[in-house]
Chains A and B, each alone.
Chain A
């Protein structure tokens, strides 16, 4: 492969364009394939500038330059586009069919249930998820439904889940699923375009709603406050830690400082490129919001319902504007940031947000 002149290869672009300005979301996509990129403690770094010109590392980075329009076309084909919620076929309230799964998962346990079903039904043969607890998280490569259950529950820091993709390749998996934050969903779609890393073996992308991930300093705080053994964390408004039914609440303003800088310039709170997106309803903690985006996502949900893995209800029409408003505000805020340069958005889309008032 051609080496670059002026030592300005992919690694240098990744360093200067993403890592140095602190725009790295810690998705882990660039880690694992390359011997010169490592991630410890949710921090990614380049150890050596390899000078390879069109390296995969920059190409698949969700914070590297991204032709958003063409990426959407790759995923969805030519479809009508909703600038706020992204491409969507249906939006539901959903929850796991089994009580057990609901109780161990976040809200309705839909991610756990869909993942388990996809594995069991052969949609995928393995899935990249995030395990761990309030002492720290870690990426996990799962190939069994029992493994899925161990990863249940939301994690609020940026585990480099995609760093295990090459592990899955080495293990010979052909249909690999991903459960990830919006940045990881984008990365997964970019990875699918990179045959040298066998990215085409990513077969299912379950996206999460994400308003920003905390830095690992969260764990220091959790430890200082003696909350590291809590079994659940949630952010209904302020930050809630629960331990066998007992809740501790930390005001969100106290936690704001821990939000990763990279997340402040994220344009995609709802995982718009996923097959399905799952998140909080912001209304009923017993249920998840579920957005079906692709045909594959629709098929998965349909069969999961048919097999009792999940159950769905229509998304209450009075709640939809609330979701839209939250997303609209986030996107508009991000468009105003000077460091928001990595997504090449179509001009009309940008115009839509800039010309529309908050309360429209």
Chain B
């Protein structure tokens, strides 16, 4: 929605953008020519937005994974162009091997690596602090506090990258990427650099080249000392200061206001997180008694500042942060995201003042909140994964050898919980499933008799599954790899992947079908439609008994994509309550208490099932599974 303003807005316009759109706008203004990414919340809108830039100005790519993505962007930098590579924090691990090598030799055109961390794990399996990886890789880090600053930092990051001839990491977090604010747009870069790779220009990595990276960090530290992204707010001198970065700046500001401590506490805002601006920090530690740290995920600035303190003779300071346990949410320190209340609590403790938030008595809260049912994630109405999971559950039950299921990452990670029938026995990172399945299958001679199965997604297949399959076949493992192919990278907002035949923003390209890759590896591969549930379950059941590595593709378009494409339901689904067995034997509320589709709801008055037609996607799978034939799916003409 905001992409239009971000790309088509005129210089001087004040527009509402989210943090990711602002970063994209900044990159666009800075003259970025190459934008690549593997999608991952909360980073995806950056490349989504840049994909809308006219193709004559920019090459945008949804890459197959993060390392390939970074390599491509770096190539553009080698040719002197500005490039941005974007990923979520977990993706940085995938790109890390290349990042740590490339950063030794350095690059040429401005290269900005934008990494979006996800404190609280709103859409991730882990809270991951990318700043520590940047430190290991010796890559400088910028960290915006607001949507407005996200744009400014994106622009500046290119400049710094070119100054130091190495990559710069721009660290966003969910509350920046997914916040919206007003942004004044600037002019687009006029210069149109030509891509050049002069004969004799070489980018090599060699032993001890890390001294080059070290020298670049020294250079960055000098730049950062004078950088406008570091500043203070409040009184010049105060016995209590808060070091903050990211959105914690805003939380701290509000906390001071709420406690009525304006003019009594100084805010030290750090925008250049690594390397820390030592002189700037030192100047703000002089004469201070209490230092509070407010930052997302781990204690990066806290550790850095305490180290600076330890190396200088600055008098007595008490530090209040995650390490001391004073910066702590409901789950304790180092867990969950920052918010104003955490900082209010810390300041109140330091200043020894009482603060009670306006609100309700604990009794009111307890009494009322016990009335409120939790709302778990559920697969969408019409989601093919639900049908796939039911087929897998059926096949495993019938197989009766207690098959172990190694899961993987995507929408289908719900297979680990209730709404996915608690199928997964393991769930880790993208591509972990086949490796774990392969390893388990090798343990038979040591007594493990349970067969193994892994469930991966289509985008995950291209991203990280192929090596696991090759390894499995090479090592003679026995496992079944089920690929849930819903035609897109669904979880992150329906980006295309190599099987789609579409590159970014709808441009058509060569499709690389999963089955061709699998068969090319000499691995048997079958394809079924999970909506033909019985057939799918039988196929899984029989394939599970075959020796060696096997692949089974369960192919059915994501319900949300299908809904967008077709605009109307293909079928009207309803319940003939005269046939419905309800709670009786031979059903026991299959559709409403077991199947778990939000479209199947219970009519307590009749004691029968009913379809919530406002929610139902019209897939009709429940009609094929209803034991009494009471659910009816009718074709709709439209």
Contact = CB atoms under 8 A, between A and B. Distances in A.
Contact of A41 (B542, B584, B586, B590): B542
Nearest to A56: B585
B398 interface: yes
A47 B588 contact: no
B538 A40 contact: yes
A40 B585 contact: no
A275 B395 CA distance: 37
Interface in A1-57: 1, 10, 19, 33-36, 38-41, 43-48, 50-52, 54-57
Contact of A38 (B397, B583, B590): B397
Contact of B586 (A33, A43, A44): A33
Contact of B627 (A35, A46, A54): A35
B634 to A, nearest CB: 18
A249 interface: no
B206 to A, nearest CB: 59
Contact of B583 (A1, A33, A44, A47): A1
Interface in B519-574: 537-538, 541-542, 545
A56 B586 contact: yes
A38 B629 contact: no
B576 to A, nearest CB: 13
Contact of B400 (A45, A51, A55, A57): A45
A246 interface: no
A237 B545 CA distance: 32
Interface in B217-245: none
B585 A45 contact: no
B135 interface: no
Most buried by A among B537, B545, B585, B590: B585
A73 interface: no
A34 B397 contact: no
A225 interface: no
Contacts of A39: 398
A196 interface: yes
Contacts of A337: none
Interface string B394-436: 1101111000000000000000000000000000000000000
A57 B399 CA distance: 20
B585 A47 contact: no
A33 B627 contact: yes
B585 A10 contact: yes
A170 interface: yes
A40 B625 contact: no
A197 interface: yes
A16 to B, nearest CB: 14
Interface residues of A, number: 27
A197 B398 contact: no
A36 B190 CA distance: 67
Nearest to B595: A35
Contacts of B542: 40-41
Contact of B397 (A33, A46, A51, A54): A46
Contacts of B395: 40
Contacts of A33: 586, 627
A196 B584 contact: yes
A35 to B, nearest CB: 4
Nearest to A37: B397
B625 to A, nearest CB: 6
B587 interface: yes
B398 A35 contact: no
B587 A40 contact: no
A43 B585 contact: no
A242 B399 CA distance: 32
Given A35-B627, A40-B541, A196 B586 contact: yes
B629 A1 contact: no
Nearest to B627: A35
A34 B586 contact: yes
Contacts of B541: 40-41
B52 interface: no
A38 B627 contact: no
B593 to A, nearest CB: 9
Interface string B572-616: 000000000001111110100010000000000000000000000
A55 B590 CA distance: 15
**Interface SS, A side:** mixed
Interface in B605-638: 625-627, 629
A45 B395 CA distance: 9
Contacts of B399: 43, 45
A43 B584 contact: no
A38 B536 CA distance: 13
B393 interface: yes
A39 B397 CA distance: 10
Given A40-B537, A40-B542, A35 B397 contact: no
A35 B625 contact: yes
Given A40-B542, A41-B541, A170-B629, A47 B586 contact: no
B398 A52 contact: no
A80 B249 CA distance: 94
Contacts of A55: 585
Given A40-B538, A196-B585, A34 B627 contact: yes
Interface string A57-97: 10000000000000000000000000000000000000000
A14 to B, nearest CB: 12
A48 B422 CA distance: 12
A197 B594 contact: no
A43 to B, nearest CB: 6
A51 B399 CA distance: 22
A150 B133 CA distance: 70
Contacts of A41: 398, 541-542, 545
A170 B588 CA distance: 19
Interface in B256-283: none
B541 to A, nearest CB: 5
B314 to A, nearest CB: 65
Interface in B474-513: none
Contacts of A196: 584-586
Given A40-B542, A41-B542, A170-B629, A47 B393 contact: yes
Contacts of A47: 393-394, 397-398
Given A43-B400, A45-B400, A170-B629, A38 B586 contact: no
Contacts of B590: 35-36
A315 to B, nearest CB: 42
B399 to A, nearest CB: 8
B624 to A, nearest CB: 11
B81 to A, nearest CB: 56
Most buried by A among B393, B586, B594, B626: B586
A225 to B, nearest CB: 19
Interface in B380-404: 393-395, 397-400
B594 A52 contact: no
Contacts of A44: 398
Nearest to B421: A48
A197 B586 contact: yes
A46 B400 CA distance: 10
B400 A35 contact: no
Contacts of B398: 38-41, 43-45, 47
A52 B584 CA distance: 8
B631 to A, nearest CB: 11
A285 to B, nearest CB: 35
A19 B586 CA distance: 19
B51 to A, nearest CB: 43
Given A40-B395, A41-B542, 14 more contacts: A1-B584, A1-B585, A34-B585, A35-B586, A35-B587, A35-B594, A36-B594, A38-B394, A38-B397, A41-B545, A43-B399, A47-B397, A50-B585, A54-B585
30 contacts: A1-B584, A1-B588, A33-B586, A34-B585, A35-B590, A35-B625, A35-B626, A35-B627, A36-B590, A38-B394, A38-B537, A40-B398, A40-B537, A40-B538, A40-B541, A40-B542, A41-B541, A41-B542, A41-B545, A45-B399, A45-B400, A47-B398, A50-B585, A50-B588, A50-B594, A57-B585, A196-B584, A196-B585, A196-B586, A197-B586
